[in-house]
A and B are shown apart, each in its own frame.
Chain A
Amino acid sequence: MNDLETLSGAPVHPAARRMETDFNAGRMDRRSFLRALSWLGVAVGGASLMPDLAHAQATPKDGGTLRFACQIQEITDPMMSQWIEASNLYRNSLEFLTWVDADNIVRPYLAKAWTPSEDLTFWDFELDERATWSNGDAFTPEDVIFNINRWIAPDSQSSNKTAFAAISGMEKTGDHSVRITLSRPVASLPEQLYSYTCAMVHRDFTGNWPENPVGTGPFALQVIEVGRRAVFTKRPDYWGTPAHLDEIQYIDLGPDVTTHLAALSSGQVDLIYRATIAEYDLMQSLPNIQILSGKSANTVVMRMQVDQAPFDDIRVRKAIQLAANNQQMLDIAYRGKGTIASNYHVSPVQADYFPLPAMARDVEQAKALLAEAGHADGLAIELTLGNTQGKWEQDTAQVLQQNLAEAGIQVKLNVLPATQYWPIWNKVPFGLTYWAHRPLGSMTMDLAYRSGGSWNESHFASPEFDAALDKAMALVDPEARKAAMEDVERILQDSAVMVQAFWSEPMTAAAQNVQGFVLHPSDYYRMDSIWLS
């Protein structure tokens, strides 16, 4: 018997009771169970949803300065972030309504409880009454309404506009409570609120956060110099559990991870943002560092804009998929340190993953399709990429280039510096884009493939797909949701929108004395749990 209880004290959602039956009957694993419960604001035995920040084996030690090698870009408005690096800077001072740790379970943060209606179309969020801004103001429902209104405003440029398109109304229901109304059921709403663009800014926010860095978070911004450094210090008056570190110094060491590792190895920094497969052997050979790695749904997508010639012909797109050797891309460009994928951008690590049969490589069929599409004597295309995560992006593209050559497709690689790729990532007809992990496949689908979505870089538009996605997103039960994702994935795979060859394992490195650090699959670094021994 499980002791189900809600965070708010409200009655337990009926879906939670149904899942409990399935779980007790052994039809559902504990993790999926806890996770789906957390969406509904339900905990087992009360304790499982409580923040577990310490990850503690030893007693954390307070004090000290952590030096973090990370590129420092301009930050202005958290909802506009395109780089996770930037969102990690905000994360020190700005908080989210919910918090999703590496285990994918949604935990209370600024919201201490949430209760959905039975049909999942309105949600009551109860805010933590202790939460206060660094300027002394209380964190109120007005703040929540102000933020969400900005996200979904008609002229909003934020990716949140697509992610929260279902929100149809908001209402203050008490001093510390707010009700969000949806036009269609979305089960994972609490989980989506921890997306990196969802940091809560003060209701007086005017568009440039560093100018007036008010936040509810455990650290205060002291300095930010683009391309150079950023400094955050611990706030003694933080409303929650105070951070361990006195200060965090972000140091921009340029784009080259080898330099980051050199600095780590010689004790100039304590933590680096991310390493890539190219540095794998180098990391192994350094004695004084700890390597952190994990599984995630990070990937690169070589997507084709379905309304641009020659990619407006599905036979061409299919031929490209058939000629691509996904296994070889994984083995060579990422040296096998990842999981093979099959061109539909939902990952086995995502809770709603439904495994489709892998696509087999067939160069002859690819040639036949090309001939049918009128490209019998070959086809010349250009692939644009920016090595935003490292040279392995280019390596992946080069393997694809070789693969496609076998089918008579000549690919020209247009390699741009990372900073020049981001401004055009959704503009180029054939581009290689890095997609970070999302805890749910449906979240990626919603952002990247829903008709007219703000981050829909492939211009893929299918009412059938949208409907299937709506259906899946409304389901709480993990098994039912998985089953519903089958259609979503199949439509996408059949439409041949992209070559998506593998899921890359994230890895990074830290000095030996950095404690309490867990690699988050989305590279979301919450710094208040970290301490130095």
Chain B
Amino acid sequence: MTLGSFLLRKTAVAILTMLTVSFLIFLAFEVNVADVAVKVLGQYSTPDQRTAWLAENGYYDPFVIRYLRWLGGFVTGDWGLSTFFRVPITSIVFPRLGASALLAGGALLVIVVFGLGLGILAGMRAGSLLDRVISVFSVITTSIPDFASAVFLSGIFVFWLGLLPGASTMISGFSLRELILPVLVLGLYSMGYLARITRASMVEVMGTHYIRTARLKGANPARIVLRHAMRNALITPVTVIMLQLPWLLSGVIVIEVFYAYKGFGSLLYDAALNQDIYLVEACAMVSVLVVVLSQILSDLIYGWLNPRISLGAKA
């Protein structure tokens, strides 16, 4: 399969997925018209107001028509007005998504650097003391939920030591210091998992015939790891990293709420608490889109790392 046709096929599946998801979301939130009116106009609205509003906004049209109109609006960038924030949804979702990308990017960096680093270190000398220490560390960090580490790390670094800021609103502009704690908490939870996968992969590769041969020939161990083992050992971990992206979208919700970080996760949370249905719909659509795109990306990277496997083959 060529790259072109691979991308074409993946895109087609992605579009079909998005269409299905959009239909489900629309069905779930807007099939009950009376409910929509209450959520948009509030509990204080009178029945007359609701009826007028529903008529004015075409809510008495057939469901399929409404869905197609909604979908059309979505594709053309007309996502409606947030009932809570009182601004067009597109004007708020994208800056928030950018802020979350920054947070998730930082966390990903921590995960990759520490997860891969620790995994490679442990895998190079399987069974050594270092290996065991790293293994224990990684299994323990994976078992501590992010909200628990957020409570503890804030307790230590904000209240006790007074070293770091306790809220990460970044209202007055970008601040690296405000990013440290959220990134650390997000990274801590996931890096253990990556370290374990990398270690296992590393152990396997280090045990393969050609590495053993290179060792017997007396090649420099660092050189062996860098030249031979790394590339092969990284295939699984990289896939895992890409699979972390959707997880990070979940993880940012807790962390953003905790640190009052104005990102996509806290936006979805606020939208949910305030029954801001148009915003919840948009957030759900965007998060699914992010996941679908990250899947295509991970397939591409996978193919690039492992040329023996043809693109699109079932892995």
A/B touching: CB–CB < 8 A: yes
Q: Which residues of A contact B (CB under 8 A)?
A: 74, 157, 225-229, 249, 251-254, 256, 259-263, 265-269, 282, 285-286, 417, 419-420, 423-424, 427
Q: A226-B87, A227-B270, A423-B43 are in contact. List 10 more A-B contacts (CB 8 A).
A: A74-B85, A74-B86, A251-B171, A253-B167, A256-B257, A262-B167, A265-B159, A266-B167, A417-B274, A423-B44
| Contact partner, A268, options B42, B159, B167, B270, Cβ 8 Å | B167
Contact of B166 (CB < 8 Å), options: A226, A263, A423: A263
Kindly state the separation between the CA atoms of A266 and B260 in the bound complex, as whole angstroms. Answer: 14
In the complex, the answer to whether A259 meets B260 with C-beta atoms within 8 Å is yes
Once the chains bind, are A282 and B165 in contact (CB under 8 Å)? no
Chain B interface, number of residues (Cβ within 8 angstroms): 29
- One digit per residue, 1 when the CB lies within 8 angstroms of any chain A CB and 0 when it does not, for chain B 260-281 equals 1010001000100111000000
What is the CB-to-nearest-CB distance from B152 to chain A, in angstroms, rounded to a whole number? 13
Q: Which of B85, B86, B259, B275 is the one whose CB lies under 8 Å from A420?
A: B275
**Chain A residues, CB < 8 A from B275:** 420
Point out the residue from B85, B167, B259, B260 that lies within 8 Å of A226, measured CB to CB: B85
Tell me if A419 and B260 are in contact (CB < 8 A).
Answer: no
Greatest chain A CB density within 10 A among B42, B167, B178 is at: B167
- Least CB distance, B275 to chain A, in whole angstroms: 7
Docked complex Cα distance between A267 and B178 (Å): 12
Are A253 and B169 within 8 A (Cβ)? yes
Decide if B164 is an interface residue (CB 8 Å cutoff). Answer: yes
Please measure, in the bound complex, the distance between the C-alpha atom of A503 and the C-alpha atom of B159, giving whole angstroms.
Answer: 30
Smallest CB-CB A-B distances: 6 pairs: A262-B166, A263-B167, A266-B165, A423-B43, A253-B260, A417-B273
Say whether A420 contacts B258, CB under 8 Å: no
Q: Which residues of A contact B273 (CB under 8 A)?
A: 417, 419-420
* Interfacial chain B residues near A253, Cβ < 8 Å: 167, 169, 260
B158 on the interface (CB 8 Å rule)? Answer: yes
Residue of B171, B259, B270 most packed against chain A (CB within 10 A): B171
> From B275, which residue of chain A is reached at the shortest CB distance?
A420
Q: Which residues of A contact B158 (CB under 8 A)?
A: 262, 265-266
**A228 CA / B275 CA spacing, docked (Å):** 18
The CA-CA distance from A263 to B158 in the complex, in Å, is 9
**Chain B contacts for A228, CB-based, 8 A:** 171, 262
A82 to B50 CA separation, bound complex (whole angstroms): 22
B300 to chain A, nearest CB (A): 37
Check B84 for interface membership: any CB of A closer than 8 A: yes
A262 and B275 CA atoms in complex are apart in Å by: 28
Establish whether residues B159 and A259, one from each chain, have CB atoms under 8 Å apart when the complex forms: no
24 pairs across A/B with beta carbons < 8 Å? A74-B84, A74-B85, A74-B86, A225-B87, A226-B84, A227-B84, A228-B262, A249-B171, A252-B260, A254-B266, A256-B257, A259-B167, A259-B258, A263-B169, A265-B159, A265-B162, A266-B158, A268-B165, A268-B167, A269-B167, A285-B159, A417-B273, A419-B84, A423-B42
Tell me the smallest distance from the CB of A439 to a CB of chain B, in Å. 27
Expressed in whole angstroms, the Cα–Cα distance for A228 and B261 within the complex equals: 10
A74: which B residues are within 8 A, CB to CB? 84-86
Q: How far is the CA of A2 from the CA of B169 in the complex (A)?
A: 55
Chain B, 145-168, CB within 8 A of any chain A CB: 154, 158-159, 162, 164-167
In the bound complex, what is the Cα–Cα distance between A251 and B164 (angstroms)? 18
**A interface footprint on B53-82 (CB within 8 Å = 1, 0 otherwise):** 000000000000000000000000000000
Specify which chain B residues have a CB less than 8 angstroms from the CB of A254 in the assembled complex.
257, 260, 266
Which residues of B are interface residues toward A (Cβ below 8 A)?
Answer: 42-44, 84-87, 154, 158-159, 162, 164-167, 169, 171-172, 178, 257-260, 262, 266, 270, 273-275
Contact A419 B171 (CB under 8 A): no
Chain A residues positioned under 8 Å from B262 (CB to CB): 228
The distance from the CB of B100 to the nearest CB of chain A, in whole angstroms, is 15
Q: Are B162 and A266 in contact (CB under 8 A)?
A: yes
Are B169 and A226 neighbours in the complex by a CB distance under 8 Å? Answer: no
- The docked-state distance in angstroms from the alpha carbon of A162 to that of B172 is 42
The smallest beta-carbon distance between B166 and chain A, in angstroms, is 2
Q: Is the CB of A268 within 8 A of B84?
A: no
Provide the residues of chain B in CB contact with A424, threshold 8 Å. 43
With both beta carbons as reference points, the residue of chain A lying nearest to B271 in the complex is identified as A227
Alpha-carbon distance between A371 and B165 when the two chains are bound, in angstroms? 57
B131 CB, nearest partner CB in chain A, Å: 38
B156 to chain A, nearest CB (A): 12
A226–B159 contact, CB under 8 A? no
CB distance from A136 to the nearest CB of B (A): 29
Interfacial chain A residues near B171, Cβ < 8 Å? 228-229, 249, 251
Least CB distance from A375 to B in Å reads 30
Instruction: Find the B residue at minimum CB distance from A262.
Output: B166
CA distance A259 to B260 in the complex (A): 7
A252 partner residues in chain B, CB cutoff 8 A: 169, 260
Q: Complex Cα distance A424/B86, Å?
A: 21
User: B165 is contacted by which of A229, A251, A263, A286 (Cβ under 8 Å)?
Assistant: A263
Q: Are A259 and B266 in contact (CB under 8 A)?
A: no
A393–chain B nearest beta-carbon distance, Å: 16
Task: Enumerate chain A residues within 8 angstroms of B162, measured Cβ to Cβ.
Answer: 265-266
Instruction: Tell me the minimal C-beta distance from A426 to chain B in angstroms.
Output: 10
- In whole Å, how far is A165's beta carbon from the nearest beta carbon of chain B? 20
Q: Are A265 and B84 touching (Cβ within 8 A)?
A: no
B residues near A419, Cβ cutoff 8 Å: 84, 273-274
Query: A225 to chain B: which residues have CB within 8 Å?
Result: 85, 87
If A228-B262, A417-B273, A423-B43 touch, whether A261 touches B84 (CB-CB below 8 Å) is no
Q: Closest chain B residue to A424 by CB distance?
A: B43
Choice from A157, A227, A259, A285 contacting B259 with Cβ under 8 Å = A259
Q: How far is B272's CA from A73's CA once the two chains are assembled, in angstroms?
A: 16
Residue of B nearest to A419 (CB): B274
